[in-house]
Amino acid sequence: MASLADTGSYLDQLYREKFNREPDAAGKAYWQAEIDSGKTTPARVAELFDASDEAKQIKQDKEEETRQFIESTYSTELDREVDEEGAKYWADEINSGKATKQDVVDNIRRSDEYTDNSRAYLEGLYEEILDRDPDDEGMQYWINDLQSGQTREQVKDNFQRSDEKWLGDTYSELLDRDLGDEGRKYWLDDINNKGQSREQVEANIKRSEEYQCVNSGGDWTGTECISKGVIEECPTGQARNDDGVCVDETIDTECPAGSTYDSLTGICQRDEEIKVCNMMACPEGEIKNPQTCECEPVKDDTDNTDNTDNTDNTDNTDNTDNTDDGADESELKSYYEEKLQKAKSDYDDLSRSYDADFKQGRDHETSHLTSGFTVGGFPGSRRSDLRSGSTATSDRSRKRSRITFGPKARDDRPYARQGMKSGSDTGSTFFDPSSSFR
């Protein structure tokens, strides 16, 4: 039989192991008496402890705690839900005592999945906080921090406190622009390798020409300062486009709808005005001014009052200095003659068209017969004598004196009150001279 001291020590250890607590006085006294009297053995007491409701509840609570820990670890370290296989494996490791909770975390952080997820997380921090892609050296540095026990929140805080983040904010505040690769490498080298403090770096930035330019209200081009509002002139032959960039000058020959660009005058003229102008012919000895569409006398300048022959060579039209003085008089004359011929041709076409349309309308309104038998003819008249009473007759009549009706007098020819004159050897169109009418 074991001594009371031995039995008491055994029960203290058994309570702590099975119930994770110190034994209560009544319970310890009961089990000690059972063992010391020989009614039961220490091994049987351990079995009874395991079968107790308290032990079952403790085991259930422990398993739930382990489950929650694994789920939380997967969410924090791998940013996903735990899979069934992984949950069972790590729970057995912890509940059996083969691994502690910290062992589980360390193993997960050494996995390939954890490394890939950490890279994605760190890339997001680089973009969000430092506004650039990560470099290999920096990426590995932060991965090592995470694997050594730093949480993601702690790493993010370190990003926010980094010299690079401070330098980017300083550039934005002092130079009103983002921190580029060149500036980042230069100033971080001063801080990391040359022992410069942030205050010293900021003072050096303020001594730069760029800072002086921006602080004075100018625009820094990278090499020089340009005052805002001052627009430099473009080189010869160039002009600024809508984007403010100097480009080669081009002649804008695009005109609004219904108008045409005139290369001689350099302006857009309405097509209707050009057509009317082209139809107007000038009397002999005059030439049309394309800008005003008016006929002007042709200057022969026989007395040389305006020095068009340039006898004193004041405008160098004989090109003694071998420069290009533009088109000569023969070229201009050829141009105007071409325009004049075009105007006459258009006028003739319009005249013929209007004559035909007017004749057709007149024939219809005056019952002008053009074919068929004689109507109301006289004895001995032939088929070709196309007369109808005494009101109208064909232009093909053998006797022009029988023409008694011309075009509508009041509408078309105010001076033709009665019609064609008797004996007139012309037709009866709008374009006949007034002398052919009465």
pLDDT in tens, 153-172: 999 999 999 999 999 999 99
Tens digit of each residue's pLDDT (9 = 90 or more) over 358-376: 666 655 544 444 444 444 4
Do both 372 and 405 map to the same domain? yes
Pick from 318, 346, 365: which residue ends a domain? 365
Do both 355 and 421 map to the same domain? no
Do both 291 and 337 map to the same domain? yes
pLDDT over 70 at 354, yes or no: no
Q: Give the span between the Cα atoms of 424 and 54, in whole angstroms.
A: 144
Do both 360 and 374 map to the same domain? no
Pick from 342, 365, 388: which residue ends a domain? 365
pLDDT of residue 240: 73
Distances (CA, A) of 148 to 72, 73, 111, 155: 18, 15, 13, 11
pLDDT of residue 288: 73
Do both 339 and 361 map to the same domain? yes
pLDDT of residue 196: 94
Do both 350 and 373 map to the same domain? no
- List CB contacts of 394: < 8 A, sequence separation 6 or more: 368, 369, 370, 386, 387
Q: Give the span between the Cα atoms of 115 and 77, in whole angstroms.
A: 10
Do both 358 and 381 map to the same domain? no
Least confident range from 93-102, 258-267, 300-309, 331-340: namely: 300-309
Do both 279 and 357 map to the same domain? yes
Tens digit of each residue's pLDDT (9 = 90 or more) over 47-96: 998 888 888 888 888 889 999 999 999 998 898 999 999 999 999 999 88
Q: How confident is the model at residue 125 (pLDDT cuts 50, 70, 90)?
A: very high
And the tokens for 3? 């001594």
pLDDT of residue 416: 57
And the tokens for 318? 């004989």
418 Ramachandran zone, left/alpha/beta (phi>0; psi -120 to 50): alpha
Q: Specify if 271 maps to a domain.
A: yes
Residues 311 and 375: beta-carbon distance below 8 Å: no
- List CB contacts of 136: < 8 A, sequence separation 6 or more: none
* Span 301-324, average pLDDT: 48
Do both 376 and 398 map to the same domain? yes
Q: Specify if 338 maps to a domain.
A: yes
Tens digit of each residue's pLDDT (9 = 90 or more) over 316-343: 444 444 444 445 667 777 777 787 777 7
Q: Give the span between the Cα atoms of 14 and 30, in whole angstroms.
A: 14
pLDDT over 90 at 173, yes or no: yes
Q: Give the span between the Cα atoms of 139 and 137, in whole angstroms.
A: 5
pLDDT over 90 at 100, yes or no: yes
Pick from 336, 365, 394: which residue ends a domain? 365
From 164, 181, 72, select the one nearest 125 (Cα to Cα). Answer: 164
CA 202 to centroid of chain Cα atoms: 38
Q: Specify if 398 maps to a domain.
A: yes
pLDDT of residue 282: 78
pLDDT over 70 at 186, yes or no: yes
pLDDT of residue 341: 79
Number of separate domains in the chain: 2
Q: Specify if 388 maps to a domain.
A: yes
Q: Give the span between the Cα atoms of 42 and 35, in whole angstroms.
A: 7
Burial class (CB in 10 A: 0-12, 13-18, 19+), 420: buried
pLDDT of residue 267: 67
Do both 372 and 360 map to the same domain? no
Do both 357 and 426 map to the same domain? no
Q: Specify if 383 maps to a domain.
A: yes
Tens digit of each residue's pLDDT (9 = 90 or more) over 401-437: 434 444 444 455 555 556 656 555 555 555 566 666 5
Q: How confident is the model at residue 150 (pLDDT cuts 50, 70, 90)?
A: confident
Q: Give the span between the Cα atoms of 212 and 283, in whole angstroms.
A: 74
From 49, 64, 51, 63, select the one nearest 18 (Cα to Cα). Answer: 49
Q: Give the span between the Cα atoms of 340 and 334, in whole angstroms.
A: 10
Position with higher pLDDT, 350 vs 194:
194
pLDDT over 90 at 197, yes or no: yes
pLDDT of residue 89: 94
From 48, 40, 49, select the one nearest 19 (Cα to Cα). Answer: 49
From 426, 402, 428, select the one nearest 416 (Cα to Cα). Answer: 428
pLDDT of residue 322: 47
Q: How confident is the model at residue 393 (pLDDT cuts 50, 70, 90)?
A: very low
Q: Give the span between the Cα atoms of 265 and 252, in whole angstroms.
A: 13
pLDDT over 90 at 243, yes or no: no
Backbone angles phi, psi at 261, to 5 degrees: -80, 130
Q: Specify if 27 maps to a domain.
A: no
Do both 295 and 375 map to the same domain? no
Residues of the domain holding 295: 251-301+326-365
- List CB contacts of 220: < 8 A, sequence separation 6 or more: 175, 209, 210, 213, 214, 226
Q: Specify if 236 maps to a domain.
A: no
pLDDT over 70 at 348, yes or no: yes
Least confident range from 23-32, 33-42, 307-316: namely: 307-316
Mean pLDDT of the chain: 76
Query: What percentage of the chain has pLDDT greater than the value 90?
Result: 34
* Span 121-127, average pLDDT: 95
Q: What is the pTM of this model?
A: 0.41
Q: Specify if 56 maps to a domain.
A: no
